[in-house]
Structure 1
Amino acid sequence: MDPQVEKILKLPTRQKIIILVLASALEAAALVWFLYMPKYDEHQNLKAELTKLQTEIDEKTRISANLPRLQMEYDKLDRELAQALTELPNSKEIPSLLTSITTLGKNAGLEFLVFRPKPESVKDFYAEVPVDISVSGSYYSVANFFAAVSNLPRIVNITNVAFADIKNVNNRVMTRVNCLATTFRFLDKKEIKDDKKAPQK
């Protein structure tokens, strides 16, 4: 028999119990460290992965449940964009739009004294196209002209309205009106790129 084992067997019972307890504790610690802990860590990782996957599934389920509503919202935004595109002309349509404005004024009974397009003001994806206008005629004709412009399918803002030379002629209030008519147009892709390349002031 191994001398070490014989030595242990000759020890008092109390010391044998202590040695047995220590050996058992070391064995248990080794089992926990080398077998249980790796499995526990693996279990925790799998649990976290499962939670993440379940969250993704819940999110995709929620989106798929809302898909018809989202499709309706997309279609609505698409229609609104198409409508906006009809309200903002491109550069080729600007001359005909300006001609329409003068035609509306003449049809309303106004005489154009000034119709002077000003330089465009370029914004992010569109340009403002301002025109100085001065007309003369009756107050009623001016009101009809402004109403007709507001009913155009294109956006035209009338600002800086100033009345001058107001007088009564044959029981009609006659006046001269100076104003700024501003319409807008979309920039094409080349114009947007060129604008980005231009040095910032």
Structure 2
Amino acid sequence: MKVKEKNRISNFIHQRSAPLFTKVGTLSRVHRILICILTFAVVMGGFYYFFYMPRHEEMTRLGDEHLRLKGQLDTYKRKAALLNKFKKKMAEAQIRFDSAMTALPDKKEIPNLLTDISNSGKDAGLEFILFQPRAEVKTAYYAEIPVDIKVQGGYHQVGEFFDKVSRLHRIVNMKNITMMPAKQEGNLLTSCTAVTYMFVEKKSNKGKKKKK
């Protein structure tokens, strides 16, 4: 049945195309060449329009999409590198901050530190005329504790006192230093402010919710 159907279709095409080929055969060589060229052009035009152009447009679209995604990837890589660099710097800063905090005494250590400052002056041979701690000045992470000091002694003794204080295991800065001759010949009357720093621990807000 299928063979008969194929033969019928083949005979139909042959019957329809035979007159056309016969007519083409009667044309001159130039006309036949022109017909071949025209036929080839039609076939190629159809191929270009129906097959090449859609695929070319799709390839162009995919190429543009690839470039866009590659640009996004490069941007994300740069941001990731900057983020990692920032995290590293933050970690280094935290280490330096923690190290600095260890040099700050807590509140219970302050009396001992003030005693160490006083003993440093006495060990240097100075006579204390004034040793007066003032009210602390609080900042975000630490509090400054200024101490007004007035001592009497030789220039080298004052220098030794400052050197001993600088070698204490806690941070102490000497500020507002003034020197003037004392009544006792060869001695100086030295006034200064010793500023030490105390670590301030932030209070937790947990459990302090207001009652409705």
* TM-based fold match above 0.5: yes
Mean CA deviation greater in 122-131 or 36-45 = 36-45
Higher Cα radius of gyration: 2
Structure 1 gaps, min length 5? 64-69, 194-201
Of residues 198, 201, 208 in structure 2, which corresponds to 1:185? 198
Q: 1:93-108 maps to which residues of 2 (within 5 A)? A: 93-108=109-124
Mean CA deviation greater in 9-18 or 153-162 = 9-18
Distance 1:125 1:157 in 2: 18
Of residues 93, 103, 109 in structure 1, which corresponds to 2:125? 109
Distance 1:183 1:38, change over 3 A: same
Aligned residues: percent identity? 31
Could you tell me which amino acid in structure 1 is paired with residue 196 of structure 2?
Answer: T
Structure 2 gaps, min length 5? 1-11, 25-30, 206-212
Q: 1:15-164 maps to which residues of 2 (within 5 A)? A: 17-18=37-38, 20-39=40-59, 41-42=61-62, 52=73, 78=95, 83-164=99-180
How far 1:41 moved relative to its partner?
Answer: 4.3
Structure with greater proportional strand content = 1
Secondary structure (helix, strand or coil) at the match of 1:149 reads helix
Secondary structure (helix, strand or coil) at the match of 2:187 reads strand
The count of aligned residue pairs is 169
Question: Normalising by structure 2, what TM-score?
Answer: 0.59
Distance 1:22 1:124, change over 3 A: farther
CA deviation map 1:145-195 (0-9, x unaligned): 1111011111111121111243554xxx2121110111223321329x8xx
Q: Which residue of 1 aligns with 2:210?
A: none
Secondary structure (helix, strand or coil) at the match of 1:153 reads coil
Distance 1:30 1:167 in 2: 112
- RMSD of aligned residue pairs (Cα, Å): 4.2
Distance 1:150 1:40, change over 3 A: same
Q: Which residue of 2 aligns with 1:176?
A: 189
How far 1:29 moved relative to its partner?
Answer: 3.2
Distance 1:188 1:22, change over 3 A: farther
Distance 1:119 1:21, change over 3 A: farther
Distance 2:61 2:171 in 1: 65
Distance 2:143 2:42 in 1: 86
Question: Normalising by structure 1, what TM-score?
Answer: 0.61
